Structure formats: structure tokens, C-alpha cells
Structure 1
């Protein structure tokens, strides 16, 4: 769901992109029906989109703050992405004076690349591309400045947004005009792409690490004890109690780092006025951490979980 237009020529380059993202939630076959109707131009505005989604039992999340075009030094970049449950495909255009490269990525790996020296390149679904190309063709002049091209792209965005909810009214535009010959342009593009893809790789690695950490946290959170025996008191120092954990109990800090395994000792605090003896059983009853014998409350700064 995007419209990205780029002009690359001997005097510089211009890129424009809309800011809409649409996420679909619901039955897969109905999602595909809705997307197909949207791509074909059968749905004309936001109200029709919401109504048709409701008819198909699809929930939509629509945002208009996406950054689909950007600049890296003297290079402009535009990206459309296609997400599946297993992978993300990206199609990017990198442009500067006298050169462009179109890169297709599977995850963070380059799967296809093409390059050229001058062109007008439009990314979008079939309908938005048809509408954009028609307006560009109608407005284009033989001698057109970068500023005039920028104005044409703005007009295209406004006009296309009136006819389809697949793009937003808002858009971003960048103009770059460094002095580069064709050879210099391709070298700059190649170096920029390599750096940019490396950043994407690092971002994906970090994202994967975060997802694994979250998955582990969710897994551990499902094991939090809210009822049962914890362990027995093995030493007493005023209101500080050493408790040896039971065979099915383990302790983690608040960041889910392991503190103590079954059979290892942990420190808990007891109300100073409470009665306690070595051998007392610590339990969780009705979600309260206490001594079994007299229900005296205990405190700890860690998480108690069932062990595997």
C-alpha cells in the first residue's frame, strides 16, 4: 500500500512517497479479497474501505506516519515492503545525480539488483501506478526543473489520494543535486547500499535477539508461582531468613536472570515481630508469600517460578 515516485537525471534527483500503512487482521481469504479490491481500485475512499472491511469481518489498523522515503547524504532512498508470516521482502530505489540502483531484499539479503543512469521510477500497486503515470505524462514538460518535478509529484500524491484509500494525503519529498558523473554516481550508490544493508542486518539481528528475549520472558512468566510450597527456613538473623528452595522452585531477578536453582538458598525478610523457627515452611497461599505455620508475611525482591 504505497506510492513512491522518483526522478533521476543529469541535474539531480527527486523522490516522493506517501505515509500510509494498513494492517489487516482476520480471516486470510477475506484479507486477500479486501486487498485485491483495494489494489484494483474498486474501493474509492476511507469510508468505503472501513465498510467493506466490516462486511468481510476484517479489522484494520491505518496509520499515516510511515517514512517510506529518506535521504542518506547525497542519495535518496524509497522502499516498499511486502510482509508474510515468515519473511519480509523489500524493494528499494537508491538515486542520485546521473544514477540509480533498484535493490530487492529478502530479509536483509540482496536477491536482485538493477541499475541505470536516468529514469522516472514509480513503485505502487497496479492502480496507483496507472493513475500516477497518467498524471505525470499529462503534466510533464520537455524542459522541467527539479523544483517543477517536485511540484508535479506533490500534485500526483494529492490527486491519487482522492481516488484510493491505499495512500495517504500526507507525503514526504526529497531533492538532491550533487555534481557527479555517471561513474561517480554508481560508486556512491554502491557504497551507500552496502552501508545501508549492513545497518539493516544489524537491526534485524537486534530485533531477533529482542524477540527471543521476549519469548523467553513470556515462557518464564507462565511459570510464576502463585500457590504452593517455596522452601524451608535454614537460618535466622533477626528478620532476615535464609530459605532453601524446594525441588520444583527457582528464583529470577526482575530482568529474568537466574538467581537460585532448586536446593539453593535465597534471602527473604520477615516482619520483626513475627515468630519463626528453623524448619518453618515458606509458602504462597492465596497469592501471599508467608510462613505456613502462622501466616507471617514474607518479602523478597525476586520472582519465584516453577522449575522445569
Structure 2
């Protein structure tokens, strides 16, 4: 699980997601400990990640080309994935001008867990990325326009990439000025 952050405003919405995907192979208890260190912020750089993985005897495969955010007919969609022992747990954020919804996908079943209105930042990620996003929003957001929010979102992505190896230095940024129907987008995804 890495980082997707969005701002939902009255005039539009913006969303960014990093592009990192890390696959782990090895002893489950060693993977769990490595992931705990990574997602809590103890592993800051790619070199540190490689070094700690070797110390744990865990093989890692890192790729920085996974698109986690997209725009479909005025709806911004971001997804983070967490792989457990026997299941893949996905959280999706749907955002459009004026509203958002968060869903969970467990065993191919999509369930809405939260809905909200405009003037909100929403963050999906691990402990360290949520903490970084909270600090960036608190320090840099003084209210304003969607472009102002876009600057806070980009700042958050850049700082997160410099502090934790769980986030890639590259990220995708999408935005919309439309007020699309979130329920239609969610219903479409639940059928797929």
C-alpha cells in the first residue's frame, strides 16, 4: 500500500498517486517485519530497502510504472492495494467536483465505506504516507482554489518520495472540473 491523495472542492477535484509496486518473496514472518519497517517509515531510501531485504533474506521486485489513478468521464479513481496472506485488499477513492466516496474491494466484492462532500483532502496509504500528507496539508493549505490544492498534493507526493521507499519519485496527477455521478461509476466497477 502506498499513496493516493485527493482534494475535492466545489469547483473541481484533483488526485495524485505514486507508481510504485513492491513484490516480496521469502519467509512470511520476515516479509511481515520488512513491510512493518517500510510502511512505518523506518526505511527511507531504495538502497535502504534493498539492504534491509537482504538482511531479512527477502527477495523484492520494485517497479515504478503502476498507474494507481485515472479519470473516467469526470470521475477520478485512485486505488491502493494491500496483499495479505490469503487475500488482496483494495481501497478505491472516487472523486468528482463536490463529492467523493471510498470503497473496499475484498474477494471481488465492492462495498462503499465512506462518502463525503467538497472542501476535503482524502488520503489512502500506509502509516507514514498518511502522516506526511497530514503534515503537508496542515502546513501548506490555507484554503484556496483547486490549483492551490494541486500544489499541496504535488508537494505531498514529493516529500513522501523523499522520506519513504514505499513511494516512487514519479506520480500521476489527474483532475476534473465536472460534477459526475459517483454512484454510476461505483456501480459500473462493482459489475466488473
Provide TM-score, normalisation by structure 1. Answer: 0.60
Match of 1:121 in 2: 122
Partner SS, residue 4 of structure 1: strand
Q: Out of 175, 180, 186, which is 1:193 matched to?
A: 186
TM-superposed CA distance for 1:91, in Å, is 0.7
Higher RCO (CA-CA < 8 Å; seq separation 6+): 2
TM-superposed CA distance for 1:147, in Å, is 1.6
TM-superposed CA distance for 1:82, in Å, is 1.7
TM-superposed CA distance for 1:3, in Å, is 0.8
Match of 1:296 in 2: none
TM-superposed CA distance for 1:83, in Å, is 2.2
Where do residues 193-232 of structure 1 align in structure 2 (5 Å cutoff)? 193-199=186-192
Partners of 1:197 and 1:105 in 2: how far apart?
9
Match of 1:109 in 2: 109
Match of 2:160 in 1: 160
Partner SS, residue 86 of structure 1: coil
Q: Which stretch shows the higher mean deviation, 106-115 or 89-98?
A: 106-115
Match of 1:274 in 2: none
Partner SS, residue 101 of structure 1: strand
Match of 1:83 in 2: 83
Partner SS, residue 172 of structure 1: strand
**Aligned-CA RMSD value:** 1.3
TM-superposed CA distance for 1:137, in Å, is 1.4
Are 1:171 and 2:164 matched, yes or no? no
Q: 1:4, 1:122 within 8 Å by CA — same for their partners in 2?
A: yes
Partners of 1:45 and 1:153 in 2: how far apart?
21
Match of 1:32 in 2: 32
Q: 2:9, 2:146 within 8 Å by CA — same for their partners in 1?
A: no
Partner SS, residue 191 of structure 1: helix
Provide TM-score, normalisation by structure 2. Answer: 0.94
Partners of 2:45 and 2:91 in 1: how far apart?
26
Gapped regions of structure 1 (runs ≥ 5): 200-308
Q: Which stretch shows the higher mean deviation, 79-88 or 31-40?
A: 79-88
Partners of 1:176 and 1:73 in 2: how far apart?
9
